[in-house]
Amino acid sequence: MKIINKTILITGGGSGIGYEAAKLLTADGNKVILVGRTESKIQAAAQSLANAVAIQCDINDEDDVNKLFAMISEDYPELSVLINNAGAAFLYEHGENAGAFQKATAEFATNYFSVIRLTEGLIPVLKAQPEAAIVNVTSIAAFAPGAYLPSYADSKAALRSYTLSLRHTLAKDTGIKVFELIPPLVNTEFSKEIGGQQNGMPAIEVAEALIRGFQNEEYEIQVGQTAEFRKYYLSDPEGAFVMMNQG
Ligand SMILES: NC(=O)c1ccc[n+]([C@@H]2O[C@H](COP(=O)([O-])OP(=O)(O)OC[C@H]3O[C@@H](n4cnc5c(N)ncnc54)[C@H](OP(=O)(O)O)[C@@H]3O)[C@@H](O)[C@H]2O)c1
């Protein structure tokens, strides 16, 4: 699938993986719509790129999302790629005072429920294009949970499962191709607390893998260590869980 001269919406496009993807996609002649909660961050990001606009929107806020739908229909009816990249995570372990219910609720809001609302709302626009794509950014943790981010891993496993069903169903009667981008640990703000700065791969390499994934129509884009870890998980799920939780 060639991603040139397209209009692409990236949630969480003001930093990290989303921003690096925006850089590569605009360099290839695409227009990118950066969506995020922090106006100053997405505005600065959009201004640093050749062909990008910023739309302030909290994907968990229904009013914000309805305004976003209206703006897309009005101003960007040619939208053909949606990248569901915004994410939320809490670093904690289960236990009597963990507050897991509140944390899991917040993580599922951003990583799962908001993704399905945004995606469903944009299907009519995407469907109208000759070629369209949806990318859901999951995680290596969707295969085996790190018990230090337990409900984050649950939410990414749910997103992975949703992605499989969505791909299957949209392939029946639409031209919308559904991709899953599956990064390992990446060096971004998001992963600071879990050693991303020391051990994470550069976000630009994840963005490069996404572009290759589009080109090769590789629907499950297993970035860096993810491919090897997944193979190990399939051959030895218990060993993979232990590996994810060592140290
Ligand atoms: N870094 C890793 O190790 C790693 C590994 C595997 C998967 N991932 C996934 O990769 C994706 C991108 O993360 P990243 O590492 O690039 O981190 P990041 O730089 O922190 O980017 C996350 C972006 O999402 C935006 N965001 C968060 N909540 C939002 C909301 N409710 N509405 C709109 N935007 C929101 C944030 O901006 P605002 O705060 O301004 O809204 C931020 O720009 C996430 O889905 C994450 O789960 C990351």
Split at pLDDT 50, 70, 90, the class of 15 is very high
Residues 227-239, mean pLDDT to the nearest whole number? 97
Task: Give the position, in ligand 1's atom list, of the atom nearest the Cα of 89.
Answer: 47
Q: Starting at the edge strand that comes first in sequence, how are the strands of the sheet with 7-11 ordered?
A: 52-56, 31-36, 7-11, 81-84, 132-137, 176-182, 220-222
Determine the pLDDT at residue 222. 98
Domain borders along the chain are 7-244
Read off the pLDDT of each residue in 44-48 and give the average, rounded to a whole number: 98
Average pLDDT over residues 150-159: 98
The mean pLDDT value for 32-48 works out to 98
Three-class DSSP category at 32: strand
Q: Is 162 a catalytic residue?
A: no
Pocket of ligand 1 (CB under 6 A): 11-12, 14-18, 35-38, 41, 58-60, 85-88, 110, 137, 139, 183, 185-186, 188-191, 196, 200, 203
Q: CA-to-CA distance for 240 and 246, rounded, in angstroms?
A: 10
- In the reported structure, the alpha carbon of residue 62 is separated from the centroid of ligand 1 by a whole-number distance in angstroms of 19
Mean pLDDT of 35-43: 98
List all residues 6 or more positions away from 179 whose beta carbon is below 8 Å from its beta carbon.
133, 134, 135, 136, 210, 213, 214, 218, 219, 220, 221
Amino acid occupying residue 11 = T
Taking the C-alpha atoms of residue 49 and residue 23, their distance in angstroms, rounded to an integer, is 7
The pLDDT value given to residue 35: 98
Cβ atoms of residues 152 and 201 within 8 Å: no
Confidence check: pLDDT of 247 > 80: no
Mean local confidence (pLDDT), 68-95: 98
Q: pTM for the complete prediction?
A: 0.98
The pLDDT value recorded for residue 194 is: 87
Q: 2-13, pLDDT tens digit by residue? A: 999 999 999 999
Q: Which of 45, 32, 35 is nearest to 4 (CA)?
A: 32
Which fold, 7-244? Rossmann fold (3.40.50)
Alpha-carbon dihedral sign for residues 198, 139, 231, 149: positive
Pick 72 or 194 by higher pLDDT: 72
What pLDDT, in 10s, does the model give residues 99-149?
Answer: 999 999 999 999 999 999 999 999 999 999 999 999 999 999 999 999 999
* CA 85 to ligand 1 center in whole angstroms: 6
Q: Which of 112, 152, 162, 233 is catalytic?
A: 152
Report the alpha-carbon distance of residue 82 to residue 123 in Å, rounded.
9
